[in-house]
Amino acid sequence: MKAFFTRFALPPEQRGGVALLLLALTTAAAAQMMLLLSYFEDPAYWDMRTWLIALGNNTTPLPGLALYVLAGTLLILSLRTFGWRLPALPEMRCEAQSAPTPRFGFWLTAFGLAILAANYAARPVESQENGYALALTWILSLGLFGYSVLNQSGWQTPNRNELRAWWKQNRLEVVAVLFLLALAALFRAYNVERIPYSMVNDEGEMGKGALCLLRGECRNIFAIAWASQPYVAYLPYALSVGLFGHDAAAPVRLVSVVTGVLAVLFLYLFAREAFGRPLALSAGAILAVLPYHIHFSRLGVDNIADSLSSGLMLWLVWRAMRSGGAGWYLLAGIVSGLCFYTYPGSRLAPALGLLMWGWAAVTRHGFLRAHWRGLALWLAAAFLTVAPLVGTYQSNPEFNQRLESVGLLQGNRLQEEMAYTGLSAAQVLTVQFFKSFLVFINTGGPFQFFSSPRAYFSPIAAVFLMSGLAIAIWKFHDLRVLTLLAWFFAPLVFGSALTVGPPSNQRMLGSAPAAALLTALGLLAVAQALSVLKSFLRHLSVVLVVVVLLLDGWQNTRYYFVEYQQGHFFEDLNNEITYESRMLIRSLQDSGRLFLIGEPMTRVHYGNFGYFNPDVEKYDFNPSPEALNALPKDRDALFLAIPSREAELRRIAEQIPGGAWIAEQRRNQPEYPLYFAYKVSKEQLQSYRP
């Protein structure tokens, strides 16, 4: 080591820092290797009672995590030696400014319309019959309030000269961001119809909601639909399905593609405002190629909205805190209200925004006096946005149904888990936390809409994620870092650790952008430490960042688009049947009926059946002579059977001869049958005699 320092002429005051930095990275790599080699697939791995006595055989996560704690400590000591600091905290307006006296006419009108909409939404029959008028009342209340706020605050659109000057100053950054978004869009939109394969029935439910809106059957957009979500959440899907039809999965999935790309954008915007461009670009690049985020950006369910809502919310609040502008507070309020219309995890976003705002009010002198009007505006806009939904929940108390159905602390689930595992309540909760946390760096994500045998982050990214987490804990008192820690841990705890079946992949998506930002923080901190050295090592800092990002991107994209697809980890026979049979069922049109022999695997009320063929009559069917004789015989009949019930379908073919026998194999595993079908005309059906 001394020869190394002498050869590259490192000053004595930097030698200790370099040694600590190299030792920290080596220890972190050893920690990651230790975790990867642990036997986490063994159920005994999660028995806390054996963790201490199992340290020697690596059937516990403690050795790897202990090494990571040591690596984090060494990294912090190294950064202290180099005098490393976070980028300077941007200035925030903390001086109170005179504000014009509000003209309450439009304000009162807006609140009156919102209360009217809430009262009307509480009456299901009337709100369904006059749903369009109800929606218009809601939009009008927001429009009047927004116009009043912007008009009284003196807001003006930028003129041409201002736009030209802005473009001249930021054109290189805009090009870089557009390239980043194009990369994110490519990984999310490429062959979205087939990857992942196949379309799950939950996606079909989203499509059914879209069709209900498009056909005018669901006029009240505030009514509660599938999964306890209001129909407002289905409006983007209705737009996509209306433009592209409902013959395939892509129209439903395109909404998630756009949402995933926007999540990358708003992660960049918040990180740029709070930490600077280099960190923002690195974080955006990491999220753009993250398989976990890519996967849910390609599924037609709105879980991915969690990763967008938090980034968008924090960016808007940050802009409002810096400028004190009424427009930013207005947008923050509207977005806060809209978070209650989509996937429940998005409701954490307003809480994160309020946490960041509240911490600034506590720690920065004069902030509260300068921004209390903005807070009032934020809360008022949020109330106006969410008011009709409040009315809906008065008559349909399903606000917490999703939480009550999966929450660990609801009902007797915690007690049941204690009885099943033999662990105490504290031990159960600790294991739940570790199962939710370790999936980011080590363990796989089984089931829960992902079924990945690999952790969310590649091994090299995991090292820098843990490094960034150590730095964040060290700097937790910083407003930005405290927000970042809350952003990462809130979805992890409330969406997975406190719910059944962790890791809950679909409920932790709000943590993904924060994890990408933590990873970028760890990577850039190491690179910036090297950049202060007066030797050739200084030039390695940029090379280190580029190499890590490229290697991480290569590992991630190869894993998701090659290894993950070839391993058939996401494929499910039930979903494949409901998806691949869509064109066969559509051939019936108005002239036939579907009789599904699918129990216990699938039933006709599943989402894909209703989405792809909403007008075809469908029935669950259990064959027997009496059931066959009781069938209506005025239309053709299509009998569709899952593989395990092929024999029953063959008996139908023997009893009603002359029909068309159809056998389909699984698309990606053709050695296995997908389904069997038998189609008969109404004349052949009428000839049946028991």
Spatial CA neighbour of 186 closest among 251, 250, 257, 244: 257
Number of domains, the chain: 3
- Alpha-carbon Rg for the chain, nearest whole angstrom, is 28
Residue 662 β-bridge partners:
677
Predicted pLDDT of residue 411: 81
Q: What angle do CA 351, 352, 356 make, to 5 degrees?
A: 115
Burial of 203 (0-12, 13-18, 19+ CB in 10 A): buried
Q: What three-state secondary structure class fits 54?
A: coil
Kind of pairing between the strands at 592-597 and 636-641: parallel
Instruction: Tell me the two tokens of residue 509.
Output: 């998506």
Q: Are residues 167 and 49 in the same domain?
A: no
Geometric angle at alpha carbon 109, from 106 and 114, rounded to 5°: 125
| Tens of pLDDT, residues 601-646 | 999 999 999 999 999 999 999 999 899 999 999 999 999 999 999 9
For residues 612, 613, 615, 616, the Cα torsion angle rounded to the nearest 10 degrees is -170
485 and 472 Cβ atoms separated by less than 8 Å: yes
- On whether residue 267 sits in a domain, the answer given is yes
Cβ proximity of 240 and 206 under 8 Å: no
pLDDT at 44: 84
Query: Cis link prior to 158 (omega < 30° from 0)?
Result: no
Is residue 229, in this structure, part of any structural domain at all? yes
Residue with tokens 């990984």, as numbered in its chain = 187
CB 330 within 8 A of CB 377: yes
Closest CA to 315 of 270, 356, 374: 270
Helices (H), 532-624: 540-558, 565-566, 573-580, 582-586, 607-612
What pLDDT digit, counting tens, does each position of 375-413 carry?
A: 999 999 999 999 999 999 888 776 666 677 788 988 889
The residue from 83, 116, 137 where one domain ends is 83
> Could you tell me if 288 and 181 lie in one domain?
yes
Q: Are 110 and 144 in contact (CB under 8 A)?
A: yes
CB of 423 within 8 A of CB of 50?
A: no
pLDDT given at position 427: 94
Which pLDDT belongs to residue 687?
87
In a domain, 666, yes or no: yes
Q: Which pLDDT does position 223 carry in this prediction? A: 93
Domain shared by 259 and 394, yes or no: yes
Domain that holds residue 62: 1-83
Same domain, 71 and 174: no
* Paired tokens of 189: 């939109």
First-to-last C-alpha distance (Å) of the chain: 91
Amino acid identity at 496: S
Provide the pLDDT for residue 100. Answer: 56
> Are 189 and 323 within one domain?
yes
Would you state the pLDDT for residue 321? 94
**333 lies in the same domain as 200:** yes
Q: Is there a single domain that holds both residue 235 and residue 337?
A: yes
Residues 70 and 164 in one domain: no
Distance from C-alpha of 644 to C-alpha of 654, rounded to nearest angstrom: 18
For position 577, what pLDDT does the model report?
Answer: 98
Quick one: 74 and 164 in the same domain?
no
Strands 636-641 and 660-665: unpaired
Domain end point (choices 400, 424, 455): 400
Q: Is residue 287 part of a domain?
A: yes
Q: Are residues 76 and 182 in the same domain?
A: no
Residue 203 domain flag: yes
- pLDDT averaged per 10 residues in sequence order, the chain, 690 residues: 53 77 95 92 86 82 95 96 87 67 73 92 88 95 92 82 89 95 98 95 97 95 91 96 94 98 98 95 98 98 96 97 92 97 94 96 91 94 95 78 80 90 94 97 92 96 98 96 98 95 95 98 92 66 91 97 96 97 92 95 96 96 92 94 97 94 96 97 88
In a domain, 553, yes or no: no
Q: Give a yes or no: residue 115 inside a domain.
A: no
What pLDDT, on the 0 to 100 scale, is given for residue 159?
85
Whether 584 is in a domain gets the answer: yes
At residue 532, the pLDDT reads 72
CA-nearest of 336, 320, 384 to 146 is 384
pLDDT value of residue 362: 93
Rounded-to-integer distance, Cα 109 and Cα 120, Å: 16
Tokens of 671: 């050695």
d(CA 401, CA 407): 10
Do 281 and 183 share a structural domain? yes
Helices (H), 218-325: 235-244, 250-275, 277-288, 291-296, 305-323
Among residues 64, 83, 102, the one where a domain terminates is 83
Task: Looking at the structure, tell me whether residues 205 and 345 fall in a common domain.
Answer: yes
What does the DSSP 8-state code read for residue 493?
A: I
- Helices 511-531 and 305-323 pack at an angle, to 10 degrees, of 60
Continuous segment of H or E residues that includes residue 644: none
DSSP 57-108: GT-SSHHHHHHHHHHHHHHHHHHHHHT--PPPPPP---S----PPP-HHHHH
